[in-house]
Amino acid sequence: MSEAVQPPQESTPLDKCGHLTYHLTPADYWEEHRASAHYLPEGFAAEGFIHCTDTIAEVIAVGNRYYQEDRRDFVLLELDCELISAPIVYEVPNKIFPHIYGALDVPAVKRVLPVERTADGAFVSIGGRTQ
Residue of higher predicted confidence among 103 and 127: 103
In a domain, 91, yes or no: yes
pLDDT score of 93: 79
Mean pLDDT of the chain: 92
Domain harbouring 91, CATH code: 3.20.170.20
pLDDT score of 127: 85
Does residue 5 register a pLDDT over 90? no
In a domain, 125, yes or no: no
Q: Residue 85 sits in which domain range?
A: 22-115
In a domain, 58, yes or no: yes
C-alpha neighbours within 13 Å on the C-beta side of residue 68: 11
**Per-residue pLDDT tens digits for 28-79:** 999 999 999 999 999 899 999 999 999 988 999 999 999 999 999 999 999 9
In the chain, how many domains are there? 1
Q: What is the DSSP string of 59-96?
A: HHHHHHHHSTT--S-EEEEEEEGGG--S-EEE-STT--
Residues contacting 73, CB < 8 A, separation 6+: 26, 27, 28, 115
